Amino acid sequence: MMVLLLSIAVASFVFREPVEGLVMLLVVVAYVAVEFISARGLKKTMVVPHFPAKTSPSRSKHFIRLLDQALLACSNLPWLAA
């Protein structure tokens, strides 16, 4: 694949299309850089830290619990009863 992209870059320079040739060269350089980084062992687990599990309920669960209590309190009002 890299040979194909490099041949397109060379053909672009031959046919006087420098922008297309530079773009192809940048694609090749980016691909090689990504392969180099992944070959060096830089894994996702090394980049993203592992956070400890939550022991308390999340805010959304707390909000849902409060909302349920408010709806239950409102359902006992006589003027809201259908």
For 34-63, write each residue's pLDDT tens digit: 888 777 765 555 555 666 666 666 677 878
Task: Report percent pLDDT > 90 for the chain.
Answer: 5
Residue 55 lies in a domain: no
Residue 61 lies in a domain: no
Threshold 0.85, pTM exceeds: no
Give the per-residue pLDDT at 59. Answer: 72
Asked if 31 contacts 37 with a C-beta cutoff of 8 angstroms, the reply is no
Model confidence at 15: pLDDT above 80:
yes
Greatest C-alpha distance within the chain: 85
pLDDT range class, residue 26, cuts 50, 70, 90: very high
Total number of domains in the chain = 1
**C-alpha closest to that of 13 among 28, 25, 3, 2:** 25
Residue 29 lies in a domain: yes
On average, the pLDDT of the chain sits at 77
Residue 58 lies in a domain: no
